[in-house]
Every structure is written in C-alpha cells, then in structure tokens.
Amino acid sequence: MLSEIMMIPMIAALMLLLAIIVGLFFLGLDRKIAARFQSRIGPPIVQPFRDLVKLLAKETIVPDNAIGWLFNLAPVIALASALLLILYLPFLGVAPILSGYGDLILVLYLLMLPALAIAIGGFASGNNYATVGAQRKLIMMLSYEFPLAVLVMAVVWKTSSMFPDLQGFTFSTFMQHPVLTLVGPVGGFGVVLLIVTILIALCAELIKGPFDNPEADTELAGGVLVDYSGRNLALFLLSDAVKLCAFITLVIGLLLPCSLGDMFSSFMYTGWLAIAANVVFFFVKFTVIAILGLTFVRVAFARLKINQATKFFWLVSAGISLLGLLLISLDSMM
C-alpha cells in the first residue's frame, strides 16, 4: 500500500514531463507543417526546444513601470495551472491521476487560469500594447467559453440520460461510455458539430491563427507578451506547450475516448500490449486533431478583428454548438 502511494508522485512527474515534451514537439510540428502549406521550408521540428534553452539562458528583464511581483508571478500561475490540468485529464488515453466526482467542472475552471494569468501579466507590465493585448485576451476568453460550456452540457446530458446512476461530470464516465457509441446518425452529426466547435476554441485558447488578436505582432508588436523575456517568457512557452496537450486531451476525453484495447481486447491483445496500442492510438487522434484544429485553421484563415472574432464565437460558434446539442436531443427522441 505504501509503495503504491509513493508511486503516484513519480507517475505524476513522468506524466507532466511527457506533456511538456509532447507539447513542445507538436508546437514545432505545427510550425513545420504550416510552412510546408505555405511553400516554405520552415524551422526544424525541435525549434521550440531550442527556443526554450535560449530563453532560459537569457536575462529576465522587468520593466521599470511594471508591478514586479505580479509580472513575475503570472507565468508561474499559467504553467502551474496548465500542469495541474494534465493530472485531471486522461492524457495518453489512461485514467486521470487525480479524479473524482465533478472533475470535469474543475477542469473547465482550470482551463481559464492560464488565460487569466496571461491577461494579468499583460496588465502588470504597464505597457500600452500589452494592456490592449490583455483586454483582447479577456474578451476572447469570455467569447469562446459559452460554446465550450454548451458542448460540455450536451455530452454530460446525453451520458446522464443513458446512465442515470453514473457520475455525469467525471472523465471516467466518458471513457467507459463514449458519446459516439450512445447516438445514432443524427446525434453522430451533432457530435461532429461539437468537435468543430471545440477545435475552433483550440486556436483561440492558444492565441493562434485567426484568433491571435491578443499578440498580433504586426499591430501590437507582440501584444500581451511584449515585455516578457528570459525565464518568464520560457515559462509562458512551456505553458503553451502543456495547454496544447491539455486542450486536445480534453477533446479526446470528451468526444473521442474510444481505445483499441477496449475494442479488440477480447480477441487481439491484453496487458501491456493493449496499453501500448492505446497510447499509439491516442497519439494518432492527437496528431489529427492538432493538424486539423490548429495548423490547418491558422494557415487557411486570416486574422479576424477583435469585434469580428467576438461575433464569430457568440453567433457562429455558439450556433454550431447549440445545433449539435439540438441534434443530440432529437436523436434521443427517434
């Protein structure tokens, strides 16, 4: 019993290290594929790792007019909350290390903390460009949270209606009963719409593509992070990498939790082989979602103005998520 308790921190540390490595790798893969789409060579896939080492070696500068302690604390909060997210999510297709009733609600709150930390850091810097970027970040966050909430309620409602005795707001429920296995053709199309909704939110959460208004290099010279450098900027880079892992794991855990081990264990493989197959299948889903939801979107679409982005989330994205919810509801009546 004692040895099992001592193993939990070791497994958690290993999981967090893997999340950082995977996140940095996919940030580099995103830049490489985006460059190929635009007929460029692009940086090597390991460039984010090089950037991290370079930033850690550079001096950390705090502006004279900044609120020093808050300016330095913001990147720490962003990274810590992103790492904590991983522990509550089925990363690598395995059960969350920290779990319990209502863990999905906690995940939704934790998902807001990195965005809030970035905005707080921007306000604390005292720079006008950073202030504008921080305001845009808060507006964006308030805009895409509603479609995300509708998506979560649709999945929870469907699962709870089919299995009223199970805990509706826990990831273990979704892993045991994937929503795609609970719906027919109409509801399946609704689930696809929900996937589209959360992939759109992925770009906004990572400040990429058409929703990079908070940074907007050509307008705000880096925006919310314009005054960050050295160790602080490295922490934000790590936060982005872990957020990428967390958000895509959230997509997989809510909507695509099916695993090869569950589907073929009766006649194909069990034990460690099944675990390895599940991890490989997880990364297949992870790669497809990252390319479609992040790389393709940011290459295919130009940056939206902040008012256009807000209208898009409140009207288009929210409409798509509500339509998905409606189709899942109609599927239950058929």
Range of the domain at 124: 11-333
Segment 12-31 shows an average pLDDT of 90
Q: Distance of CA 99 to CAs 95, 107, 170, 238, 286, Å?
A: 8, 10, 7, 24, 22
Domain count, the chain: 1
- Domain membership of residue 3 (yes or no) is no
Between residues 215 and 314, the one the model is more confident about:
314
3-state helix, strand, coil in the chain (%, to 5): 75, 0, 25
- Whether 159 and 254 have beta carbons less than 8 Å apart is answered as no
Segment 200-209 shows an average pLDDT of 77
Q: Above 80 in pLDDT, residue 276? A: no
- Domain membership of residue 1 (yes or no) is no
- Whether 103 and 253 have beta carbons less than 8 Å apart is answered as no
Segment 277-284 shows an average pLDDT of 83
> Among residues of the chain, what percentage have pLDDT more than 70?
87
- Domain membership of residue 2 (yes or no) is no
Q: Above 90 in pLDDT, residue 49? A: yes
Between residues 186 and 2, the one the model is more confident about:
186
Q: Above 60 in pLDDT, residue 311? A: yes
Which pLDDT does position 25 carry in this prediction? 93
Which pLDDT does position 218 carry in this prediction? 61
CA dihedral sign, ordered 176, 178, 179, 184? negative
Q: Above 60 in pLDDT, residue 266? A: no
Which pLDDT does position 216 carry in this prediction? 65
Q: How confident is the model at residue 184 (pLDDT cuts 50, 70, 90)?
A: confident
Within 10 A of 70 (CB to CB), how many other CB atoms are there? 14
pTM > 0.95: no
Angstrom distance (rounded) from CA 220 to CA 225: 10
Which tokens in the block code for residue 25? 């790798």
b/e burial code for range 122-153 (CB count within 10 A of at least 16 → b): bbbbebebbbbbbbbbbbbbebbbebbebbbe
Q: Above 70 in pLDDT, residue 6? A: no
CA atoms within 13 A on the CB side of 296: 10
Which pLDDT does position 219 carry in this prediction? 58
Q: How confident is the model at residue 283 (pLDDT cuts 50, 70, 90)?
A: confident
Angstrom distance (rounded) from CA 272 to CA 13: 21
- Domain membership of residue 259 (yes or no) is yes
Which pLDDT does position 24 carry in this prediction? 93
- Domain membership of residue 39 (yes or no) is yes
- Domain membership of residue 6 (yes or no) is no
- Domain membership of residue 246 (yes or no) is yes
Which pLDDT does position 167 carry in this prediction? 65
Long-range contacts of 183-187 (CB under 8 A, 24+ apart): 183/158, 183/328, 183/331, 184/331, 184/334, 185/331, 186/327, 186/330, 186/331, 186/334, 187/158, 187/327, 187/328, 187/330, 187/331, 187/332
- What are the pLDDT digits (tens) for 54-113? 999 988 888 888 888 888 899 999 999 999 989 888 888 777 887 777 778 888 888 888
Which pLDDT does position 4 carry in this prediction? 58
Average pLDDT, the chain: 81
Q: Above 80 in pLDDT, residue 211? A: no
Q: How confident is the model at residue 158 (pLDDT cuts 50, 70, 90)?
A: confident
Q: Above 70 in pLDDT, residue 2? A: no
